[in-house]
Amino acid sequence: MSATLSFIHRFEPGTDRARAPLLLLHGTGGDETDLLPLGRAVAPGASLLAPRGQVLEHGQPRFFRRLAEGVFDEADLRARVDDLARFVAEARAAYGLPAPVALGFSNGANIAAATLLLRPEALAGAALVRAMVPLAEPPETDLGAKPVLILSGALDPIVPAANAQALAGQLARAGARVEHRTLPAGHGLGQADVTLLRSWLAADATDRAA
């Protein structure tokens, strides 16, 4: 199910009103179907909104351009954050949704982190899997205790541990309630990520229902 909006996307309506919608943001080379199975597994009953990144890198979709691995085109990133925030507003109006919690992997996690810092009104929180610092000089932002989960890999060859820790610090200083877990994993998603995501999202749903 999908309306005609500014991003190619998939939408699956939820059945559990206590759960926030999930904004599923894929990694490099993924598309709007990539994280739907993960969303169903970690947040059963939640509405799922999954856009496709609008940048192509060697034919692979991404959410923003980079100059090299780990080196982001920050001007493009800022523009793409505005585009994503606009899409979220469109989707909320089209599907009757409250603000979503972003669930992003790799490139998708990075644009979710940047959206928290640049357009915090677009998201109710975020689960960031293998994220890194998106902005060298983030703006002053008040995240108003939005919940954020960061799942890093101790063996990740792309995201240095210090970089992930710096992102957690940036978001905490901006007022987010940050939980940062480092797993014995590389850059890829694993079962431990699924287990932690399910637990964290269930606790968020319980908080909303209270």
Residues annotated as catalytic are 106, 156, 187
Q: What's the per-residue H, E or C state across the chain? A: CCCCCCCCEEEECCCCCCCCCEEEECCCCCCCCCCHHHHHHHCCCCCEEEECCCEEECCEEECCCEEECCEECHHHHHHHHHHHHHHHHHHHHHHCCCCCEEEEECHHHHHHHHHHHHCHHHCCEEEEECCCCCCCCCCCCCCCCCEEEEEEECCCCCCCHHHHHHHHHHHHHCCCEEEEEEECCCCCCCHHHHHHHHHHHHHHHHHHHC
